[in-house]
Amino acid sequence: MLFPVSGVEVHPLIPPLVALVVSAFTSMGGVSGAFLLLPFQVSVLNFTSPAVSPTNLVFNIVAIPSGVYHYIREGRMNWPMIWVVILGTLPGLWAGALIRVNWMLEPGRFKLFVGGVLLYIGLRLIYDQTSWAKRRKTRIMEFEARVQERLRKLLKETGQLPGKALPRAARVRTRSWGLRRIEYEFLGETFSFNTLALFLLSLMVGLIGGTYGIGGGAIIAPFVVSIFGLPVYTVAGAALLGTFITSVFGVVIYYILAPFYPGLGVAPDLALGALFGLGGFGGMYVGARLQKFIPAPIIRTGLGLIISALALRYVIGFFL
C-alpha cells in the first residue's frame, strides 16, 4: 500500500503490528513507544522528510487518550502542572519545528540528533537501575511504598475498587497556584515545585519534541520525580495528558508551516500515523497486563540497552 503524503510503501498491517510490539515493550518500562517508532520510520521505511516528525506525533494523539481517561476518572490529574507544561512546551515546539525544516533536512544530521535524544533516554533507564541511583532515590522509593500502602488501606476502608473514581483523600487537590510556586495535596501531605523551573524544563523538552516528533513525557516525568521529589503517582497522569496536548499542537504547527515550504514534505501523513497509533493503543494495554509478570529492573535495563545500542549506531554512523 502506498501512503501518498509520505511516499512510504508498506503493507497496512506492518505499522500497527510494529507499534503494538514496541508499545507493549516500552510501556512496561513506563515510557511511550513514540521515540522508537521514529527510527523505524526513518531507517526501515525510509521516511526521512520533515513530515516524519509530526507523523510520529500522530501516534501519541491516537494511542494516549485511553490512558488519559483512566487518570481523569481516578482523580489523579495534577492540573496546574499540566498547564505549566503546556505553556512551556508550545514555544519550544515552534522552535523545534523551525529547526527541523530549516537545519535538519539532511537525513544523517537528523539521525545524529535522534541518536543523541535516544542515548539520553537509554542511559537514563540504565542509570536508574544502578545501586548508586537507587541509594539517591531511597527517600522517593520509601515514600512511593507508603503511598501504595496508604492507598490500599483507604480503598479497603471505603470499599472502592482500583480503577474507579478514587476517594477524595486519594485525589490530587491544588492548594495554591502562583508564578513562583505551585502547591498541591495528596494523601494528607503537601508537595510543591518551582513554577519557573518546570516552565523552563518544558520549554527545552518542547524544542526537542518539536524537532524529533515526541511529546516529551519520557523526559519530563523522570525529571520532576527525581529532581523535584514529587511522587510519580501524582505526576504520571499530568505527563501523559501534557504529551497528548502538545502532540496535537505539534501537528497543527507543522500544518501551519507546510505552505511556507512547498515541495519539502512538512505536513504529517495522518493515515500512516493513525495506523501506528492504533497499534500503540493496543500495545499499551498489552504492556500494562504483562508488566506484573516481568520484574521492573529487567524491563528497564533491557529497554535501556536496546535504546542505547540504537543511539550509538546513529551517532557513530554519522561520523563514519
% of the chain residues with pLDDT over 70? 88
209 vs 90: CA distance, rounded Å = 10
Is the pLDDT at 123 greater than 70, yes or no? yes
Place of cell 497509533: 277
Is the pLDDT at 31 greater than 80, yes or no? no
Q: What integer pLDDT is reported at residue 285 of this predicted model?
A: 78
Q: What integer pLDDT is reported at residue 111 of this predicted model?
A: 93
Q: What integer pLDDT is reported at residue 288 of this predicted model?
A: 64
Amino acid at 38: L
139 vs 228: CA distance, rounded Å = 12
Give the three-class secondary structure for 173: strand
Is the pLDDT at 63 greater than 70, yes or no? yes
Q: How would residue 69 be classed by pLDDT, with cut points 50, 70 and 90?
A: confident
Among 68-77, 139-148, 267-276, name the most confident range. 267-276
Is the pLDDT at 134 greater than 80, yes or no? no
Domain residue limits, the chain: 2-101+136-297
Residues 233/147, Cβ–Cβ less than 8 Å: yes
DSSP label at residue 161: P
Q: What integer pLDDT is reported at residue 249 of this predicted model?
A: 94
Beta strand 173-177 with 181-186 is: antiparallel
Predicted model pTM: 0.87
Residues 112/206, Cβ–Cβ less than 8 Å: no
29 vs 230: CA distance, rounded Å = 19
Q: Which cell numbers hold the place of 234?
A: 501524582
Q: How would residue 191 be classed by pLDDT, with cut points 50, 70 and 90?
A: confident
Is the pLDDT at 296 greater than 70, yes or no? no
310 vs 16: CA distance, rounded Å = 21
199 vs 300: CA distance, rounded Å = 28
Alpha helices in the chain (DSSP H): 14-28, 34-43, 52-63, 65-74, 79-103, 107-127, 131-136, 138-158, 195-212, 217-226, 236-257, 270-290, 296-319
Q: Backbone phi, then psi, for 167, in 5-degree steps?
A: -60, 155
As a whole number, mean pLDDT of residues 177-200 equals 89
Could you tell me which of 147, 151, 121, 119 has the C-alpha nearest to residue 29?
Answer: 121
Is the pLDDT at 302 greater than 60, yes or no? yes
As a whole number, mean pLDDT of residues 262-269 equals 92
Is the pLDDT at 155 greater than 80, yes or no? no
Residues 281/62, Cβ–Cβ less than 8 Å: yes
State in Å, rounded, how far the first CA of the chain is from the last one.
34
Q: What integer pLDDT is reported at residue 178 of this predicted model?
A: 86
Is the pLDDT at 38 greater than 90, yes or no? yes
Q: Backbone phi, then psi, for 100, in 5-degree steps?
A: -65, -45
Is the pLDDT at 104 greater than 80, yes or no? yes
Q: What integer pLDDT is reported at residue 15 of this predicted model?
A: 96
Q: How would residue 160 be classed by pLDDT, with cut points 50, 70 and 90?
A: low
More confident residue, 26 or 203: 203
Is the pLDDT at 131 greater than 90, yes or no? no
As a whole number, mean pLDDT of residues 310-317 equals 93
Is the pLDDT at 52 greater than 70, yes or no? yes
Is the pLDDT at 154 greater than 80, yes or no? no
Q: How would residue 181 be classed by pLDDT, with cut points 50, 70 and 90?
A: very high
Tens of pLDDT, residue by residue over 161-180, are 555 556 666 678 888 888 88
DSSP 99-138: HHHHH--SHHHHHHHHHHHHHHHHHHHHHTTSHHHHHHTH
Q: What integer pLDDT is reported at residue 312 of this predicted model?
A: 94
3 vs 106: CA distance, rounded Å = 22
